[in-house]
């Protein structure tokens, strides 16, 4: 589903990604962990070209993102993204947030979009909030709406950038629950997270990033109990 080859990313003179290679297969759940500033968000954002790529190749669903012929808007419809800060549209109600892209990009009818949207809100447990505005919801509820909004495009792949980091501790669980459900249904997911419990339970594979490279990758069992690199060990000692 995703192949990344020798991905480099610079911001000006700041070399942030220094040659990333990895592969994500269909239905796989990959968690990305690592210290702050190691380039996790940048890596994730390169996967749907929210950041342009300095060099290397990213191939998503068979399309090379650096190929001029690739229609990036089309790729993005296949790649859902969930942000740390939710980024809901504050001037639109919950259901309008969910319906907007299917209506304008997929050009489906309003009724069809509403029907789908309502089903997704049921799925994330927010059916009764459809006509409220984001500001009226808790952080956890907002993030669940953001997940529903991304799912409304029926993506083949979902990217999550620290989806629970902005939440009060008591609201983290409800969001992780929705993500677990998604994983169970076979969604392909790449999740940048500091929730080690989640990574351990849900991930098929964990990537440990440090200083712009993938230091180590393995099953959660190995990474969390018997990491190969000293860096990984140190990092886990600090966060666990």
Partner 1 sequence: MFDFAQVIDFLPQLGKGLYYTLLISVIGLLIGFILGAIFGLGRISKNKFFFVISSIYVEVIRGTPVLVQAIWIFFALPIITQYNMDSVPAGIVVIAINSGAYIAEIVRGSVDSIDKGQMEAGRSLGLNKHQTMRYIIWPQAFKRMIPPLGNQFIISIKDTSLLSVILVPELMFQGRYIASNHFNAVEIYTTVALFYLVINFSLSLLLRYIERRLNY
Residue 73 near ligand ATP by CB under 6 A: no
Q: Taking CB within 5 to 8 Å according to partner kind, which of partner 1, ligand ATP, Mg ion, none is near residue 224?
A: none
Q: Which is nearer to partner 1, 88 or 176 (CB)?
A: 88
Q: Which is nearer to Mg ion, 84 or 132 (CB)?
A: 84
Judged by CB under 8 A, the chain residues 161 through 220 that form the site for partner 1 are none
Both tokens of residue 109? 């009818």
Q: Are 45 and 58 a contacting pair, CB within 8 Å?
A: no
Number of DSSP helices (H) and strands (E) in the chain, helices first: 9, 10
Residue of 27, 18, 25, 88 lying closest to 46 (CA atoms): 18
Minimum distance from residue 18 beta carbon to ligand ATP (Å) = 11
Contact range with partner 1 by CB under 8 A, out of 25-33, 71-79, 193-201, 225-233: 71-79
Sheet of strand 29-33: strand arrangement: 79-82, 157-161, 188-192, 29-33, 205-210, 213-218
Q: Which of 3, 19, 50, 108 binds partner 1 (CB under 8 A)?
A: 50
Question: How many C-beta atoms surround the C-beta of residue 184 within 10 A?
Answer: 10
Q: Which is nearer to partner 1, 91 or 238 (CB)?
A: 91
Minimum distance from residue 48 beta carbon to partner 1 (Å) = 6
Residue 52 near ligand ATP by CB under 6 A: no
Residue 238 near ligand ATP by CB under 6 A: no
Residue 193 near ligand ATP by CB under 6 A: no
Q: Are 205 and 30 a contacting pair, CB within 8 Å?
A: yes
Q: DSSP string covering 144-199, please?
A: HHHHHHHHTT--SEEEEESTTTTS-HHHHHHHHHHHHHHHHTT-EEEEE-S-HHHH
Residue 214 near ligand ATP by CB under 6 A: no
Question: How many C-beta atoms surround the C-beta of residue 120 within 10 A?
Answer: 23
Q: Which is nearer to partner 1, 104 or 184 (CB)?
A: 104
Q: Which of 38, 142, 164, 188 binds ligand ATP (CB under 6 A)?
A: 38
H-state helical runs in the chain: 40-46, 72-78, 94-104, 110-123, 139-151, 169-184, 196-202, 220-225, 230-239
Question: How many C-beta atoms surround the C-beta of residue 86 within 10 A?
Answer: 22
Q: Which of 7, 28, 41, 179 binds ligand ATP (CB under 6 A)?
A: 41
* Footprint on this chain of partner 1 (rule: CB under 8 A): 48, 50, 73-74, 76-77, 79-81, 83, 85, 87-91, 100-101, 104-105, 133, 135, 146, 149-150, 153
* Footprint on this chain of ligand ATP (rule: CB under 6 A): 11, 14, 16, 34, 36-42
């Amino acid at each position: 589903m995703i192949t990344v080859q020798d991905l480099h990313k610079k911001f000006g003179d700041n070399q942030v990604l220094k040659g990333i290679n990895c592969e994500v297969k269909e239905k796989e759940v990959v968690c990305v962990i690592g210290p702050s500033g190691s380039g996790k968000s940048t890596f994730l954002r390169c996967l749907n070209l929210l950041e342009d790529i300095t060099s290397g190749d990213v191939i998503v669903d068979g399309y090379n993102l650096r190929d001029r012929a690739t229609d990036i808007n089309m790729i993005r419809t296949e790649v859902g993204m969930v942000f740390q800060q939710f980024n809901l549209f504050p001037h639109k109600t919950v259901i309008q947030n969910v319906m907007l892209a299917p209506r304008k990009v997929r050009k489906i009818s309003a009724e069809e979009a509403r029907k789908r949207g309502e089903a997704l809100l049921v799925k994330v447990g927010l059916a009764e909030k459809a006509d409220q505005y984001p500001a009226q919801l808790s952080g956890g509820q907002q993030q669940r709406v953001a997940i529903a909004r991304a799912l409304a495009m029926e993506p083949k792949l979902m990217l999550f950038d620290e989806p629970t980091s902005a939440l009060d501790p008591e609201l983290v669980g409800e969001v992780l629950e929705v993500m677990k459900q998604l994983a169970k249904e076979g969604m392909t997911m790449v999740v940048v997270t500091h929730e080690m419990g989640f990574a351990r339970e849900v991930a098929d594979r964990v990537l440990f990033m440090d200083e712009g490279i993938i230091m180590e990758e393995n099953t959660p069992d190995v990474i969390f109990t018997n990491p190969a690199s000293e860096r990984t060990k140190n990092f886990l000692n600090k966060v666990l």
